[in-house]
């Protein structure tokens, strides 16, 4: 952005500053900023403690996430390999469940046949 003192862009700069101040006033950001500034001036050590605690917590969380990502499995699979594995597993589960249904159906037919002839075999 050009220098704010450049006469060529002075009007544009003033309009942007006025728009920013109007936005801050409408959203009450200016009042929140003033309250935070007042709190920081009155309670300097507490404010610094809060800010540095927040910074250390963020830093610690970032270190935790970096170590978590670093320690994940090293065998990187492409998206195609992952999709093929999911399809293979799903197909295996479906075939196992269908074979279970067929076996149950055979057992049902056998029981039903025995009930039809009242347990007597025809000679």
Q: Are residues 40 and 28 in the same domain?
A: yes
Q: Are residues 95 and 36 in the same domain?
A: no
pLDDT for res 61: 97
Q: How far is CA 75 from CA 15, 63, 72, 89, in A?
A: 56, 22, 9, 19
Alpha-carbon distance 69 to 92, whole Å? 31
Q: Are residues 119 and 79 in the same domain?
A: yes
User: What value does the mean pLDDT of the chain take?
Assistant: 83
Q: Are residues 55 and 34 in the same domain?
A: yes
Q: Are residues 105 and 47 in the same domain?
A: no
Alpha-carbon distance 101 to 58, whole Å? 54
Q: Are residues 58 and 88 in the same domain?
A: no
pLDDT for res 3: 74
Using 50, 70 and 90 to split pLDDT, how confident is the model at 31?
Answer: very high
Q: Are residues 59 and 13 in the same domain?
A: yes
Domain that holds residue 29: 1-72
For the stretch 68-103, what's the b/e string if a residue is b when 16 or more beta carbons lie within 10 angstroms of its beta carbon?
eeeeeeeeeeeeeeeeeeeeeeeeeeeeeeeeeeee
Q: Do residues 49 and 39 touch, judged by C-beta distance below 8 A?
A: no
The reply to whether the predicted model has a pTM over 0.85 is: no
Q: Are residues 56 and 79 in the same domain?
A: no
């Amino acid at each position: 952005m050009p220098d704010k003192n450049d006469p060529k862009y002075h009007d544009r700069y003033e309009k942007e500053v006025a728009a920013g101040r109007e936005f801050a006033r409408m959203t009450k950001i200016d009042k929140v900023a003033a309250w935070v500034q007042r709190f920081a001036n009155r309670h300097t050590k507490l404010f610094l403690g809060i800010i540095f605690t927040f910074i250390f917590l963020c830093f610690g969380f970032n270190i935790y996430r970096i170590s978590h990502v670093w320690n994940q499995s090293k065998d990187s699979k492409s998206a195609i390999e992952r999709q093929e594995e999911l399809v293979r597993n799903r197909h295996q589960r479906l075939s196992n469940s269908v074979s279970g249904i067929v076996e149950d159906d055979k057992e049902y037919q056998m029981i039903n046949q025995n009930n039809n002839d009242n347990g007597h075999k025809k000679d």
